[in-house]
């Protein structure tokens, strides 16, 4: 049984598929028809793994956090994706997709970005490969995330402002799709999470699955077994969680836990906790859970962490929620900030505020002291320094 893998039609249970304008069909179909053959080829795997090792810095450590473990009464390991080049897991995917683009004969890359993190990870690999890079970003987001805009420019990317609608992520997505429709032959569109039309969610999950592949091997060396009792990760679109869960999805002894951003609280309308307040609908080309009004308008999300500030989740996670395979927790801004500062003081690691949402789940669980927990520390907190300072309670 592979109940949690994507099926032929691109679905995970009731979620997924490719809900795209007809004009986009040839581009998406080209990808769908070729992605598995290309990324499983020996040649591709060799190049991908070589770059992960020599450029990204993989394998990332699986670190036993002893002071954090004492505090929560379980054996807690941190998977250190924060040590990846560019400071988070996102680069695992952009390396994979740019290699795929090369194999497909494309020499131009487009992407859309909300907070700029995926834009930076994309601009980085475009510089690495000498490819032309255009990143669409909402005008409002460009003003809010100036340092990332400048990073992308330093890396040689062109950042184009999306000036329609609310001038945020969904408008940037629309612009990127339009660009792709008009430039199907020479351009690849790099999506940054396990979202978008099939085959993107599966393709991105496969690139990020290196995380769980390493966890299995590293845990065996440290604990004498391949599987933890618990696996915990934060979910924005869901790519770091998908990568950490991937090789454990069918192993139901491993309890999967996802942390979503509750923002000011799920009862307020300033939240991004999709599984708590979202409903089934179509977002970014796939059927999934998303936050929407009664008449289907997408609700603007809120989270203190830019990376979790997304109105939906990927279709795999919608299925993990729907089927009960994973448990979901909603973590408020305040809870995340407290957990971020706690890790800093206990372990000397300042986490990204996204990852701090996963850390905040620890205090809500009942552990047996023999329980082994692996927490995917998706990114480092350097980019969030200003938010930590503004919050001020440390
Ligand atoms: C972007 C980001 C996330 C959220 O994206 P996912 O696709 O859900 O992983 C989480 N953590 C960090 C550090 C990020 O940069």
Sheet with 326-332: strands ordered across: 62-64, 75-80, 372-377, 230-234, 255-263, 326-332
pLDDT over 90 at 15, yes or no: yes
**Residue 22 CA to ligand 1 centre (angstroms):** 30
CA nearest 118: which of 139, 92, 154?
92
Q: Which two tokens stand for residue 266?
A: 């799920």
Q: Which of 119, 122, 191, 239, when mutated, tests ligand 1's pocket best, judged by the most ligand atoms within 8 Å of its CB?
A: 239
- At 60 the three-state DSSP class reads coil
Residue pLDDT, tens place only, 246-266:
999 999 999 999 999 999 999
pLDDT tens for 62-78 read: 999 999 999 999 999 99
Q: What was the pLDDT predicted at 2? A: 62
- Ligand 1: distance of its center to the CA of 75 in Å? 24
Q: What is the DSSP string of 110-132?
A: EEEESSSHHHHHHHHHHHHHT-E
Distance 352 CA to ligand 1 centre (A): 9
Terminal-to-terminal C-alpha distance of the chain: 48
pLDDT in tens, 266-324: 999 899 999 999 999 999 999 999 999 999 899 989 999 989 999 999 999 999 999 99
317 touches ligand 1 (CB under 6 Å): no
Q: For the residues 203-217, what does the mean pLDDT come to? A: 98
> Atom 14 of ligand 1 has which residue's CA nearest to it?
307
Q: pLDDT tens digit string along 32-52?
A: 999 999 999 999 999 999 999
Give pTM, 2 decimals.
0.98
The residues assigned a catalytic role are: 90, 112, 378
Q: How high is the mean pLDDT of the chain?
A: 96
Q: List, for residues 93-119, the tens digit of each pLDDT value.
A: 999 999 999 999 999 999 999 989 999
Contact 381 CB / ligand 1 (< 6 Å): no
Q: Which residues pair with 132 in a beta bridge?
A: 108
Query: Residue 235: CB within 6 Å of ligand 1?
Result: yes
Q: What is the CA radius of gyration of the chain?
A: 19
Reported confidence tier of residue 166, pLDDT bands at 50, 70, 90: confident
What does the pLDDT average to over 108-132? 97
| Ramachandran category for residue 87: left, alpha or beta (phi over 0 → left; psi -120 to 50 → alpha) | left
> What tokens does 23 get?
């004009």
239 lines ligand 1 (CB under 6 A): yes
Whether 1 shows a pLDDT value over 60: the answer reads no
Q: Any idea what DSSP says for residue 2?
A: -
CA 88 to CA 69: how far, in whole Å? 23
Ligand 1 atom closest to Cα of residue 354: 11
> What's the token pair of residue 228?
């933890």
């Amino acid at each position: 049984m592979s109940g949690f893998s994507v099926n032929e039609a691109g679905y995970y249970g009731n979620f997924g598929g490719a809900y795209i304008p007809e004009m986009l069909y040839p581009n998406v179909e080209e990808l769908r028809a070729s992605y598995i053959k290309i990324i499983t080829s020996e040649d591709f795997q060799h190049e991908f793994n070589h770059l992960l090792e020599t450029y990204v810095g993989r394998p990332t450590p699986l670190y036993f956090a002893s002071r954090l473990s004492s505090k929560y009464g379980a054996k807690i390991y941190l998977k250190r994706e924060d040590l990846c080049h560019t400071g988070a897991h996102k680069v695992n995917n952009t390396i994979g997709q740019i290699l795929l683009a090369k194999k497909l004969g494309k020499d131009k890359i487009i992407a859309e970005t909300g907070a700029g993190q995926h834009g930076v990870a994309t601009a980085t690999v475009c510089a690495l490969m000498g490819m032309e890079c255009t990143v669409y970003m909402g005008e409002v987001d460009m003003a809010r995330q100036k340092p990332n805009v400048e990073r992308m420019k330093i890396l040689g990317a062109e950042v184009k402002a999306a000036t329609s609608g609310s001038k945020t992520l969904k408008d940037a997505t629309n612009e990127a799709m339009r660009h792709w429709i008009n430039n199907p032959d020479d351009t690849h569109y790099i999506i940054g999470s396990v979202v978008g039309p099939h085959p993107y969610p599966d393709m991105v999950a496969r690139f990020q699955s290196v995380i769980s592949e390493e966890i299995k091997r590293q845990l065996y060396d440290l604990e004498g077994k391949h599987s933890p009792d618990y696996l915990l990760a934060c979910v924005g679109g869901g790519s770091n969680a998908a990568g950490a869960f991937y090789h454990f999805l069918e192993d139901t002894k491993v309890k999967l836990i996802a942390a979503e951003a509750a923002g000011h609280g799920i009862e307020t309308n300033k939240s991004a906790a999709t599984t708590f307040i979202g409903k089934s609908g179509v977002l970014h080309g796939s059927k999934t859970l998303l936050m929407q009004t009664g008449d289907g308008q997408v609700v603007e999300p809120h989270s203190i962490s830019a990376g979790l500030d997304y109105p939906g989740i990927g279709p795999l996670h919608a299925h993990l929620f729907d089927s009960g395979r994973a448990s979901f927790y909603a973590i408020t801004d305040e809870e995340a900030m407290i957990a971020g500062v706690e890790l800093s003081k206990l372990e000397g690691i300042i986490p990204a505020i996204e990852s701090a949402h996963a850390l905040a789940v620890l205090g809500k669980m009942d552990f047996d002291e023999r329980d082994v927990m692996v927490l995917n520390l998706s990114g480092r907190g350097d980019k969030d320094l200003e938010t930590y300072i503004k919050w001020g309670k440390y």
